[in-house]
Amino acid sequence: MTVVRNCSNCGAQSQASANSCTSCGAELTAELGYEPYQRNEASPDTPRVSVSQYRISPDKIVVMSILSWGLYLFYWLYLTWKQYRDHTREVAFPVWHAAAIGTVPIYSLFRIHAHMRVFRELMLQAGQATSISAGRTVGLMIVFTVLNGVALVVVELGTTSTTALITLVIDIGSVSVVILLLYGVQKNLNRYWREQSGGPLFNARLGAGEVILVVIGVLLWVDAIASVLSESYRLV
């Protein structure tokens, strides 16, 4: 592990022992806000990735979580883990990380704990206060998992207007948990990316995966609402 510094003038990285930025020549001093952090040297030749488009609007999280039926959680885990990998150059696998959280019940709790812990540590190393809590996130993830499990049990009891309504209420609760889980964490991350960018911070581009999840989510909402309102639909 090698200690490096981010230049707050251009964002480039230099050795901690350097007195000036190797990219723009700016003086590296603590007074100007240069903070060292640890990065993995596994891929020293990997080009530095700008963090200027890492911002995700908290309002977008609310909208996307609702439209996607809560599935946005897994895209967010993929995207932010990819940002972490590109920013720190640590060895990480965003797709498998998000897939494991979405499919492996117990292991998923360890993965999401690690997800929040590393971002909390990044902020603390940069001298930023943070309200990210890995324990709180794990607790919300447990609630999310339990709600989805209960919904499956209710569906197995039969397709009636009552069971359909109960399932819809549980689905709304599940989406609410996703919003609680992501909203505060993203506000912390946006503050971190703003400092690391050393300049304007722009919203991350809309990804194809997000569009696909919204389409799936809308179809699931239509199915859930139609099951409550239409007996003929439930019998199909």
Cα–Cα dist 227/233, whole Å: 6
Cα–Cα dist 18/2, whole Å: 13
Whether the predicted pLDDT of 18 surpasses 80: no
Please state the rounded mean pLDDT for residues 210-222: 97
What integer pLDDT is reported at residue 200 of this predicted model? 87
Q: At 22, is the pLDDT very low, low, confident or very high (cuts 50, 70, 90)?
A: low
pLDDT digit string (tens) for 35-62?
433 444 444 454 456 898 999 999 999 9
| 53 φ, ψ (degrees, to nearest 5) | -115, 35
Q: At 27, is the pLDDT very low, low, confident or very high (cuts 50, 70, 90)?
A: low
Please state the rounded mean pLDDT for residues 197-226: 93
Tell me which of 113-117, 140-144, 171-175, 195-199 is least confident. Answer: 195-199
Whether the predicted pLDDT of 86 surpasses 50: yes
Whether the predicted pLDDT of 159 surpasses 90: no
Whether the predicted pLDDT of 14 surpasses 70: no
Whether the predicted pLDDT of 122 surpasses 90: yes
Contact by Cβ (8 Å): 137, 160: no
Cα–Cα dist 201/194, whole Å: 6
Q: Please list the residues that pair with 3 across neighbouring strands.
A: 38
